[in-house]
Amino acid sequence: EDQVTQSPEALRLQEGESSSLNCSYTVSGLRGLFWYRQDPGKGPEFLFTLYSAGEEKEKERLKATLTKKESFLHITAPKPEDSATYLCAVLGFNKFYFGSGTKLNVKP
Amino acid sequence: KAGVTQTPRYLIKTRGQQVTLSCSPISGHRSVSWYQQTPGQGLQFLFEYFSETQRNKGNFPGRFSGRQFSNSRSEMNVSTLELGDSALYLCASSSGPGADTQYFGPGTRLTVL
- Tens of pLDDT, residue by residue over B4-26, are 999 999 999 999 999 999 999 99
Say if A42 is an interface residue toward chain B (CB within 8 Å). yes
A-proximal residues of B, 46-85, CB under 8 Å: 48, 55-56
Rounded to a whole number, what is the distance in Å from the CA of A101 to chain B's nearest CA? 8
User: What pLDDT does residue A27 have?
Assistant: 87
Residues in chain B, how many? 113
Question: What's the whole-number mean pLDDT along residues B90-108?
Answer: 86
Consecutive H or E run containing A24: strand A19-26
CA dist., res. B40 & res. A100, Å (int): 9
Beta carbons of A36 and A100 less than 8 angstroms apart: no
Q: Do A42 and B100 touch (CB under 8 A)?
A: no
Mean pLDDT of chain A: 94
| A54-75 pLDDT per residue, tens | 999 999 999 999 998 999 999 9
Higher pLDDT, B7 or A28: B7
Name the pLDDT band for A1 (thresholds 50, 70, 90).
confident
CA dist., res. B79 & res. B49, Å (int): 19
User: What pLDDT does residue A29 have?
Assistant: 83
**Backbone phi, psi, residue B32, to 5°:** -130, 130
Nearest to A5 by CA among A20, A19, A25, A21: A25
What chain B residue is nearest to A49 in terms of C-alpha separation?
B101
Higher pLDDT, A37 or A31: A37
